[in-house]
Structure 1
Amino acid sequence: MKKLRLAFVLVAFVANSCYSQKEIVTENKEPTKPEETEFYEPVVPVVKKNINGVPSDAIVLFDGKNLDGWEHTKTKEKATWLINEDGSVTVKNKSGDIQTKQKFGDIQLHIEWQSPADIKGKGQNRANSGVFIQGKYEVQVLDNNDNDTYVNGQVGSVYKQHTPLAMASVPSGEWNVYDIVYHAPEFNEKGVKIKSGTLTVLHNGILIQDHVEIKGTTPYIGWPKNPPHGKGPIKLQDHRDNSRVSYRNIWVREL
């Protein structure tokens, strides 16, 4: 009787296995018509650039006219950096960092920056500023033309974490462009990070950070930290060393 039961179980198993295999083969059968691999939804939105190169779905953070969308990082008072006649804004020395009033998660960020043509200082004290994503993760701004420093703190670095793949700066006094793609870290309900954020950076059209993992905050001293957070502002740094860095044409696309 035991042998009969065992034989029945084996037959049933083989039959079910064959049936399952048949299902798999049917589901993965090679399409024989082109329309079997075509789909029409979701409809892809149309995005166009205006005469200034700004995408139609972008949020303009600085258009050269005012800093109404920005605030002092610590006091939350009105940003007081210096607006220039050419539509740029220059760091006002020792006035403090400024940040957007609006907060963001995953973004594509476009920002242009300029170090002064009249060179002053050396190392980290020459045209030092920074672009902080979500107010926490810095992409370094620095004049490194004939000006060496630690490579994980040079221009285009994810500060103290990732050295850039190339030094792509234009001559001092000319305008640099950063195009940044950022995906925010994720935290569970207990505030523990379960997925790291990532950064991709193009400097003047050259890839310098290739989807690198953000290890945490980017402090000057100490290890990266991972405090839980949601959306955050774009912050620009006043390095407090008369950096005289200027910015213009700042916009984001939410991803």
Structure 2
Amino acid sequence: MKYSILFTAALTGSFFMAHAQQAKPEDTEIWEPIPKVVTPGSAFRDAPSDAIKLFDGKNLDQWVQVDDQSPAKWDVKNDILTVNKHYGNIETKQKFTNYQLHIEWKVPASITGSGQARGNSGIFLASIGKGDDGYELQVLDSYNNKTYVNGMAGSIYKQAIPLANPGRMPGQWQTYDVIWTAPTFNEDGTVKTTAHVTVFFNGVLVENNFELKGPTKYIGKPEYIKHGPSPIKLQAHGDKSEPLSYRNIWVREL
């Protein structure tokens, strides 16, 4: 019995040694599919070659008014898009599912007010109805401006507190870089996969693959509603502070 065990162990060891000797680096190399070539922007934050330019400073051809789908009527001047609260929210003509978004925004240097009434706007990563329906990434002056933390800049409104507050002072341009993974639904309307979002605010990670509980709501708990590809919406908030400005908006479908 003793010799049989020794023989079996030796045989097993020889097998694994021979197997290891047969393994090659090439065994774990993957050659296809080959990733598509994307030319990066010539400068940091410039749109890469496969991006869809939603606003490049020239016009609002990619946008419509949310309420009646007429051409967007916000103000465009000197390569800057400024919120016009008289006309309400605007959204993209094109609908999206999963994407990478870059957007820059600025609170006026002369901003007044406090809390939520200080440069309030929002980026709805998926607009699923009129008004403020959808999934909102909050835009707000959060530089020495106290408010509820799930409503400050970089928050997923009323759901996710930002991991940090890298907000710049009013009058300076700020950037959001977003990875949005849309929810999916079964035929009966139940949730198949939830929505997730990652947000970099001025280059600082503030939302790390956060799992949303549903569309964001001002009052009440979030609850998913079945929908498909959706526009990206910019909010014309009703507060009395001076309006926000946006520039350099582009998106890459994923």
Is TM more than 0.5 here? Answer: yes
User: Who is 2:8 aligned against?
Assistant: none
- Which one-letter code corresponds to 2:23 in the other structure? T
User: Who is 1:220 aligned against?
Assistant: 218
Q: Which runs of 4+ in 1 moved over 3 A?
A: none
What 5-or-longer segments of structure 1 have no aligned partner? 1-21
CA offsets 1:61-110 (integer angstroms, 9 cap, x no match): 0010100110011111111101021x110001232000000000000000
- Which one-letter code corresponds to 2:88 in the other structure? G
User: Who is 2:47 aligned against?
Assistant: 54
What 5-or-longer segments of structure 2 have no aligned partner? 1-11, 128-133
**Helix, strand or coil for the counterpart of 1:152?**
helix
Q: Which of 138, 141, 144 is the equivalent residue of 2:142?
A: 144
Seq. identity, %: 49
- Equivalent residues in 2 for 1:67-86, closer than 5 Å: 67-85=60-78
CA offsets 1:8-66 (integer angstroms, 9 cap, x no match): xxxxxxxxxxxxxx9xx99xx65621111112100111111233521111111001010
User: Who is 1:112 aligned against?
Assistant: 104
Q: TM-score, normalised by structure 2?
A: 0.87
CA contact (8 A) 1:96 1:237 kept: yes
Report the CA distance between 1:193 and its aligned residue.
Answer: 0.8
CA offsets 1:175-228 (integer angstroms, 9 cap, x no match): 000000010111001111121110000001000000000110111111112110
User: Who is 1:40 aligned against?
Assistant: 31
Q: Following the alignment from structure 1 to structure 2, what is the Cα–Cα distance between the partners of residues 132 and 114? A: 17
Coordinate RMSD, CA, aligned: 1.6
Q: Between Structure 1 and Structure 2, how many residues are aligned?
A: 229
The structure having more radius of gyration, on CA atoms, is 1
CA contact (8 A) 1:93 1:241 kept: no
User: Who is 1:101 aligned against?
Assistant: 93
- Which one-letter code corresponds to 2:121 in the other structure? S
CA contact (8 A) 1:94 1:240 kept: no
**Helix, strand or coil for the counterpart of 1:134?**
strand
CA contact (8 A) 1:181 1:200 kept: yes
**Helix, strand or coil for the counterpart of 2:27?**
helix
- Equivalent residues in 2 for 1:170-185, closer than 5 Å: 170-185=168-183
User: Who is 1:6 aligned against?
Assistant: none
Report the CA distance between 1:171 and its aligned residue.
Answer: 1.5
